[in-house]
Amino acid sequence: MENPRQLRHQSLTDARRELILSAARSAFFELGMDKASMREIAHRAGYSPGAIYSYFASKEELYGALLGESLERLNRQVDVAGAQADQAVECLQASAWAFFEFYRENPHDLDLGFYLFQGMKPRGLTPELNETLNARLRDALQPIQDRLQQLGMPEEQALEEVTALFAHSVGLLVLSHTGRIRMFRQDSGDLFARYLEQLVKRAKGA
């Protein structure tokens, strides 16, 4: 049985860590990666700059933690959606919609996940961390590829289709979140639905 004092200490540590992450999230979104200093993050969290270094060694580490948490939520949403479907086609559609809806409903996560506030480059992330985060993003798309292959599509073609769906989704989401889609008088959800419908047809004909 764990010591009550240790449990209280861990609970306090977790709460402080979440407070720092919340402060970093707001600083990154408002100021961008370059201008969001550790001092600014500490100020927003109500701590001294030195205090937050005991939790995170740098703002890059903070950024990696935020992106990791975002990707975990994405994966949970995709997993739950897929688990509620019985047939391969239904699972394919549910997983794809869960991916699209996650970023449509959480535009800040789109900015975070695709480095949209720092020149679209993962600056500051180590190659190891960048690969780890990329792997979690691929994990969110894997159920779609699996269902395509289950429907008879060859692995290489399924991977190509997932890549195209990923690009199509992100493009629509960026147009939607920036308001640019209004110039075409289109709705991102309707366009995604049509794209997914064509993908299902291709999968059934594979």
The string of pLDDT tens digits covering residues 152-179 is 999 999 999 999 999 999 999 999 999 9
Residue 79: closest CA among 132, 148, 135, 141: 141
CATH number for the domain including 130? 1.10.357.10
Task: Give 57-62 contacts, CB < 8 A, sequence gap 24+.
Answer: 58/124, 59/24, 59/33, 59/124, 60/124, 60/125, 62/20, 62/21, 62/24
* Mean pLDDT estimate for the chain: 90
Who wins on pLDDT, 194 or 4?
Answer: 194
Q: How distant is the alpha carbon of residue 85 from its chain centre?
A: 22
Do 121 and 51 belong together in one domain?
Answer: no
| Domain that residue 152 falls in | 61-204
Q: Does the pLDDT value for residue 17 go beyond 70?
A: yes
Do 44 and 94 belong together in one domain?
Answer: no
What is the model's pLDDT at position 7? 77
Do 28 and 75 belong together in one domain?
Answer: no
192 vs 198: CA distance, rounded Å: 10
Strand, coil or helix: 184: helix
Quick one: average pLDDT of 6-27? 87
Q: Does the pLDDT value for residue 141 go beyond 80?
A: yes
Percent pLDDT > 70 in the chain is 93
Amino acid code (one letter) for 92: L
What is the model's pLDDT at position 84? 92
Instruction: Give the pLDDT band of residue 10 (cuts 50, 70, 90).
Output: confident
Do 14 and 68 belong together in one domain?
Answer: no
Who wins on pLDDT, 6 or 150?
Answer: 150
Q: What are the tens digits of pLDDT across the range 90-99?
A: 999 999 999 9
110 vs 10: CA distance, rounded Å: 31
Q: Does the pLDDT value for residue 121 go beyond 80?
A: no
What is the model's pLDDT at position 118? 57
